[in-house]
Structure 1
Amino acid sequence: MIYFLPKFSLQMNFIDYILMCAFLHVGYQNPLSSWTLQPNVLVVKVNGSPSQQALKCLHSAEGLTNGDDKDILWKKNGREEKQRGNSYLVQLEESLGGGRYSCYSTNGSLLNHTVVLIQEDTTRRKILMKTDQEEYLKCSTQNFEGAFRCSWTWHRTRFGKVALIRAGRDVECSVDASGQRWTCSSGQGQISCSVDGTGDGISCVDKRHCAFAEEKHRIFLTVYVKTEHFLVESYSKHFYLSEIVKPDKVKIRRVNTSMIEVTYPSSWSSPSSYFPLTFQVSQSTRGCKNCDNPCENPTATVMVNSSSHCRFEVKSEFKTVCVRAKDALYNSQWSDWSHLRLRKKRKNKQKNHTS
């Protein structure tokens, strides 16, 4: 941009001149920062003020026709731009300016491209919504084998997709050709993640994790998500697997009219003597024939530790028994409730229903 300075007297001091220049140039500032998310993907952090970000098509003059960079054409999201040359100035204002910028030779050959993503300088998030626990990312694992899953909820008006996943500490991450699977390696582990088909979660596994060894380092996870309008935000979470472990539902079997048996979920780590579970057992007098979960408000609960399976006595006046489990050694999450409806004998035939 060219600025025209008014005539001024020779008496105008140097400080006044500097202040005038600063005032005239305030219209275009540099963005707060910019950094490379992936090859050919540039993240530009802005604060809403008008600014410019310079892009370069070629880093050397070898690819120029006759050494003249005026032969280079630019397109934004497939539409030709007026700017020509090896350098291009992206106009940024508020959250606008992101897009796919491509440069071409005069014969139409693609020379280079850069995807510009906008990261707003604000604590107000716009792409994901918080859970009931005031978290953006909800992570859990069924056992201690090294696999875990994290999920999120898209904003109802801003559905997006995953731009990058980083997992671990001081790691290098790479993505495969499909853009759906990332692998991150470090001295402490090798974590591979893939985006779920629904687009609202990722499944990861630490290939170097040993279930029998004590965890010395937390997993640091950052998920970058972007929208179709080239807005990007990052969401982070760090944890030990022992902090997010949540067993699957236990199995309940009726042994006889006064006894039930509870067994470990098949997905739980073994041997159970090394990975014990604590059971919480509740019996209810409510029949609750038409409700989905008779265990929502458990009463008269009993806590039991067991290294394999347990048998519990049930009294005849109770109509439902509910059981859930958690890791016995760590203060982690409870499993979802399993329940068994206790029915009376009818026509000499015992009817049981379990879920």
Structure 2
Amino acid sequence: MCGIKARTDPAREHRTHRRESHLIFFFCAEFDVRQSNSTKMGLLMRFIVLVCFSITRMSALKFFPEKFVIGEKHTSVTLTCKTNKDSVTWKREDALGIVDIVESEYEKLSGRHLTVIDLQKDQIGNYTCWSDKGLEDYTYLLLDKSKEATGFKINCTAETFSCSKQIKCTWTSDEFTAFRLRNARDNGDWVSQSVDGVFFLPHSTNSFSEESERLLITGEAVSTCCYMKTDYSFYLRDIVKPADPNISVFKVKNKGSDQQIIEVEVMPPSSWPQPYSFFPLKHQIEYQIRHNGELKTKEWEEGSKIKVEGQISKLRVRCRDMLLLSQWSEWTMWKNVPNEGKRSHTKNKVAKKKSGKKNKTKKKEEKSKVNRHWGKRINF
């Protein structure tokens, strides 16, 4: 269909798929108790390598193989066995087992070279080459899907302009099982993901000078069958996202019976570069009105303190670079504000009640005195 000729290769269809027992048979056939210790050790090492290949194949590619070759679909790829032997045989390990490679329309053998023609998904796998002494070399052949995978985007942020902090990047995909990134601009080493597709990449950007060259992050991903490569280029200043700041509600003043003024102090995150006058921050506060749950926000640039008036139940703060208008930091955790106004109002009511009782008692005492006084006058 679609102009592509259907592939019918009898040799391919009638090959025998051998399972892991093939490794045991090979080891037993080659091992001879009369051989020298060095020869036995060499055979044992080859056997161990084969077992590792088998485990890797069964559990899929969870890491980048040391040797791999990529090719696009319907292209030809030549594999070379790195050995000094003139004659070798080839095998392919895939999800089904081990396949012996023989000359065919789609596989051409020439000395230490194997050419795979019109590359298809069923030709993907771990190719091993063998001499009469055993395993000589291996190469993973993967299908290059870089042109197809346009939706896989790397996302990076930096807490500061300083090179003392690494760039944090995220990159995941359900189609691939192993990922790695590198800072190509600074010729950095490959970094594998630590957890949940998160990478931390070092860089050499000077926070006190203007950037003249963009950072270039290169990403590679592999799966049992496929390979993908992508690039992400940016200036560090465009991805700065400060860590959330430190806040404290250090003064609460009552104003009237049911109003209060809250003074909040905000300090830059510990990772933010100094002096702060050279790297000023803009702040935003979000707070909740106590009686109706309404959320309000305020922004300010000058100073680290802000006053908020009214009955507030909780608040939080975030910040960003004031000059470059970077991304906002994450919000701080909500900070509860004590209901000082209500407490004061209650105290006032109690005080009024006590005052009222005292006044009533005083009036009774005065009335009693008057009665006693007029009683004396009448008796007199």
TM-score normalised by length of structure 2: 0.61
Are 2:131 and 1:105 equivalent residues in the alignment?
yes
- CA distance change for structure 1 residues 246 and 224 in 2, over 3 Å: closer, same or farther? same
Give yes or no for contact 2:160–2:272 (8 Å, CA) kept in 1.
Answer: yes
Structure 2 gap segments, 5+ residues each = 9-63, 103-108, 253-261, 345-380
Aligned equivalents of 2:101, 2:227: Cα separation in 1: 27
Give yes or no for contact 1:95–1:120 (8 Å, CA) kept in 2.
Answer: no
Match for residue 209 of structure 2 among 210, 213, 237? 213
Q: 1:243 matched to which residue of 2? A: 238
Are 2:326 and 1:332 equivalent residues in the alignment?
yes
Higher Rg: 2
Are 2:183 and 1:167 equivalent residues in the alignment?
yes
List aligned pairs for 1:181-260, cutoff 5 A.
Answer: 185=187, 191-192=188-189, 194-198=191-195, 200-206=197-203, 208-227=204-223, 229-257=224-252, 258-260=262-264
1:239-284 CA distances to partner (integer Å, 9 max, x unpaired)? 1111111111111101111312111111111221111111112332
Aligned equivalents of 1:274, 1:192: Cα separation in 2: 32
- Root-mean-square deviation (CA, aligned residues, Å) is 3.3
Number of paired residues?
A: 263
More strand by share: 1
Give yes or no for contact 1:219–1:238 (8 Å, CA) kept in 2.
Answer: yes
Look up the SS of the partner of 2:238 in the other structure: helix
Runs ≥4 in structure 1, deviation > 6 angstroms? 25-28
Aligned equivalents of 2:214, 2:65: Cα separation in 1: 24
Identical residues among aligned pairs (%): 23
Give yes or no for contact 2:279–2:321 (8 Å, CA) kept in 1.
Answer: yes
Aligned equivalents of 2:267, 2:82: Cα separation in 1: 64
More helix by share: 2
Match for residue 310 of structure 1 among 304, 322, 327? 304
Look up the SS of the partner of 1:202 in the other structure: strand
Aligned equivalents of 1:231, 1:286: Cα separation in 2: 56
Aligned equivalents of 1:90, 1:111: Cα separation in 2: 19
Q: 1:116 matched to which residue of 2? A: 141
Distance apart, 1:326 and its partner CA: 0.4
Amino acid at match of 1:153: T
Match for residue 92 of structure 2 among 76, 79, 101? 76
1:193-215 CA distances to partner (integer Å, 9 max, x unpaired)? 53232151211011x32111111
Distance apart, 1:122 and its partner CA: 4.7
TM-score normalised by length of structure 1: 0.65
Aligned equivalents of 2:124, 2:291: Cα separation in 1: 58
- CA distance change for structure 1 residues 226 and 335 in 2, over 3 Å: closer, same or farther? same
Give yes or no for contact 2:127–2:138 (8 Å, CA) kept in 1.
Answer: yes
Q: 1:153 matched to which residue of 2? A: 172
Give yes or no for contact 2:81–2:136 (8 Å, CA) kept in 1.
Answer: yes
1:131-168 CA distances to partner (integer Å, 9 max, x unpaired)? xxxxx21110111112201102322xx34112x53423
Aligned equivalents of 2:155, 2:343: Cα separation in 1: 49
Aligned equivalents of 1:272, 1:111: Cα separation in 2: 61
Amino acid at match of 1:74: W
